[in-house]
Amino acid sequence: MNTVDYIIENHIATVYLNRPPYNPLNTQLYQELSVLFEELEKNPEVRAVIITGKGDRAFAAGADINEMMNLSNVEMAEMSRVSREAYDKVEALSKPVIAAVNGLALGGGCELALACDFRICSSNTKFGLPEINLGIIPGGGGTQRLPRLVGQSKAKELLYFGEMIDAEKAKEIGLANKVTELEDLMSEAVRWAEKLAQKPVVAMSMVKKSINKGSDMGLPAALDLETVCFGNAFASEDRKEGMQSFVDKRKPQFTGR
């Protein structure tokens, strides 16, 4: 892969957007990200994922305008399809995904962070969806995932004005989970990932599925989904170990089954 790098250590996959200094998102990067997340889904050694940008200026400063501006409507529709596929695969991964946001997360970069389960950002981070200023709107989930995360009023403020907000404001409205200094960003993301990687795999995947899919359902259907997910988790070997270790008053030894 040319635009995406990754390493796997201690059950954690760290994925790097590799188009520094600003890591703009182009068709090739979206395609490589999709392929990689298919591989991570199938890899039983991976129990948590961190996504970050190479360098310290940007997580991803948006879609590659140099590519977009010369596309026809048909070609743009294809790029939109490819980008949506990448975001959907990040969101649908059965394992927890942490965005370690270093610097700018604008447009498609902000949308990629929104597709992750958690957003830990450095104090120099700026979030924004500035598409309105270019005569377009977000096409990678920004108008849908952002309101679900921060509420319609705050989402409309960001989407209508197209202005950036800093890390502390992002945390205040619920866009960011945690703010840290840049030099501490990756160690904090790894700390979170290590804790998540120690959790039972089946239960983790079921709670993520229940939340993500249930949020698009009415309450009765969502509760039915939760019941199914509960049953799947209860049938796992790790459930037996978790309950037995509780009775034995010892730390559980989860195996991922």
The band of 90, judged by pLDDT with boundaries at 50, 70 and 90, is: very high
The domain tally of the chain equals 2
253 inside domain: no
Instruction: Please tell me the predicted confidence (pLDDT) of residue 115.
Output: 98
Do 146 and 111 share a domain, yes or no? yes
Give the residue with greater pLDDT, 113 vs 256.
113
Whether pLDDT at 104 is above 90: yes
Sheet of strand 178-180, all strands in order from the earlier edge strand to the far edge = 4-9, 12-17, 48-53, 97-101, 118-122, 178-180
145 inside domain: yes
Whether pLDDT at 255 is above 90: no
Instruction: Please tell me the predicted confidence (pLDDT) of residue 189.
Output: 98
Whether pLDDT at 194 is above 90: yes
The band of 149, judged by pLDDT with boundaries at 50, 70 and 90, is: very high
Instruction: State which of 197, 215, 239 marks the end of a domain.
Output: 197
The band of 256, judged by pLDDT with boundaries at 50, 70 and 90, is: confident
Q: Who contacts 220 (Cβ-Cβ below 8 Å, separation ≥6)?
A: none
Do 182 and 211 share a domain, yes or no? no
Whether pLDDT at 63 is above 90: no
Instruction: Please tell me the predicted confidence (pLDDT) of residue 60.
Output: 97
Do 19 and 121 share a domain, yes or no? yes
Do 21 and 146 share a domain, yes or no? yes
Looking at the chain, the whole-number percentage of residues with pLDDT higher than 90 is 86
125 inside domain: yes
Mean pLDDT of the chain: 95
Q: pTM of the prediction?
A: 0.94
Do 112 and 221 share a domain, yes or no? no
Instruction: State which of 160, 178, 197 marks the end of a domain.
Output: 197
Do 189 and 236 share a domain, yes or no? no
Catalytic residue positions?
A: 111, 131
Do 59 and 173 share a domain, yes or no? yes
Do 161 and 111 share a domain, yes or no? yes
Whether pLDDT at 222 is above 90: yes
Do 21 and 91 share a domain, yes or no? yes
Give the E-state strand segments of the chain in sequence order. 4-9, 12-17, 48-53, 58-60, 97-101, 104-106, 118-122, 126-128, 165-166, 178-180
Q: For 69-139, where are the alpha helices, taking DSSP H only?
A: 73-92, 108-114
CA 72 to chain centre: 29
CATH of the domain at 220: 1.10.12.10
Instruction: Please tell me the predicted confidence (pLDDT) of residue 257.
Output: 84
Instruction: State which of 197, 214, 234 marks the end of a domain.
Output: 197
Do 217 and 108 share a domain, yes or no? no
Whether pLDDT at 38 is above 90: yes
Residue type, 118: F
254 inside domain: no
Instruction: Please tell me the predicted confidence (pLDDT) of residue 87.
Output: 97
19 inside domain: yes
CATH of the domain at 70: 3.90.226.10
Rounded (10°) CA dihedral 104, 167, 97, 251? 150
How far apart are the two ends of the chain, measured CA to CA in Å? 31
Mean pLDDT within 133-147: 94
Do 120 and 179 share a domain, yes or no? yes
Q: For 3-72, where are the alpha helices, taking DSSP H only?
A: 27-42, 65-68
Token output for 199: 């959790």
Whether pLDDT at 47 is above 90: yes
The band of 5, judged by pLDDT with boundaries at 50, 70 and 90, is: very high
Q: Provide the residue range defining the domain that includes 59.
A: 4-197
Do 44 and 131 share a domain, yes or no? yes
Instruction: Please tell me the predicted confidence (pLDDT) of residue 65.
Output: 83
Contact 199, 238 (CB under 8 A): no
